[in-house]
């Protein structure tokens, strides 16, 4: 049988491990539409804006609007394009192109259900299959019909994965900055948006999934784990 110190050490290892991979997700969009719709959108110098809307895109009946805006480019022969394949969304910019893609989710859980309570979650996540360096990513959570907002922004790093793999990014709600109206009311969220702006020409990215999550904060688990480790060493000294 294991003695007390060994049991505590094993518990410590499991606890510290939880800090890196324990998630509870609500998927807003996995881009796995059935049947797969033909909703590709394209912009260029001669056609600077394109949009499409899809309804009931997740298991909760949520709606999404994609808005692609031309940001610069040398010729009409170059374009920026959003394409969809089962389980993925790709934003591609030709050699001279810059663009911004705004994705907005509303009626998140069901048609006619204007708001949803996010207070039982602590963060937003997104999965990237690949990304070039040079995208600004801004996530906005809104309430009160857009009169109250909280935002998070970052510049993407280069991401590359093997087929079937992805890189996950978790953003704790505590990292969001209060915007309009002193910040969003996370107990009554009425929309979530993500803006993808290409800061460099000819950059591409591929998304696999995004949503809200509840992940244990590493600091709290690490402190608890270190406490258990201290108990283990104390127990060993007494043996």
pLDDT digits (tens, 9 = 90+) for 12-69: 444 444 444 556 788 889 988 766 655 567 888 888 999 888 887 876 677 889 999 9
CATH fold of 25-215: Jelly Rolls (2.60.120)
Provide φ and ψ at 182, rounded to 5°: 80, 10
Query: How far lies 57's CA from each of 37, 62, 84, 90, 233, in Å?
Result: 11, 6, 13, 17, 52
- Closest by CA to 211, choosing from 142, 128, 91, 123, is 123
Measured distance CA(129)–CA(158) in Å, rounded: 11
Using left for φ > 0, alpha for ψ between -120 and 50, and beta otherwise, residue 146 falls in left
The residue ranges of every structural domain in the chain are 1-22+216-239, 25-215
Report pLDDT digits (tens) over 192-210.
999 999 999 999 999 999 9
Who's near 175: CB < 8 A, 6+ residues apart?
Answer: 152
The answer to whether the pTM exceeds 0.85 is: no
Share of the chain residues as helix, strand and coil, in percent rounded to the nearest 5:
20, 45, 35
pLDDT attached to residue 12: 45
């Amino acid at each position: 049988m294991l003695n007390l110190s060994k049991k505590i050490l094993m518990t410590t290892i499991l606890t510290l491990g939880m800090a890196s991979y324990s998630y509870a997700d609500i998927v807003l969009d996995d881009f796995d539409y059935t049947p797969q719709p033909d909703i590709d959108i394209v912009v260029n110098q001669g056609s600077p804006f394109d949009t499409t809307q899809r309804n009931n895109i997740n298991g909760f009946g949520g709606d999404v609007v994609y808005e692609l805006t031309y940001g610069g480019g040398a010729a009409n022969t170059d374009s920026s394009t959003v394409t969809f394949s089962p389980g993925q969304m790709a934003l591609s910019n030709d050699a001279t192109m810059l663009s911004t893609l705004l994705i907005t989710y509303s009626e998140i859980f069901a048609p006619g259900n204007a708001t949803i309570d996010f207070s039982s979650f602590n963060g937003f996540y997104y999965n990237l299959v690949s990304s070039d360096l040079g995208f600004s990513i801004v996530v906005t959570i809104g309430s009160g019909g857009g009169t109250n907002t909280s935002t998070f922004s970052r510049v993407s790093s280069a991401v590359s994965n093997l087929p079937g793999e992805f890189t996950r990014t978790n953003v704790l709600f505590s990292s969001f900055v209060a915007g309009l109206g002193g910040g969003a009311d996370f107990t009554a969220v009425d929309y979530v948006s993500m803006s993808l702006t290409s800061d460099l020409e000819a950059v591409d990215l591929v998304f696999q999934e995004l949503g809200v999550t509840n992940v244990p904060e590493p600091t709290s688990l690490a402190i608890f784990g270190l406490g258990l480790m201290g108990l283990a060493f104390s127990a060993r000294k007494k043996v």
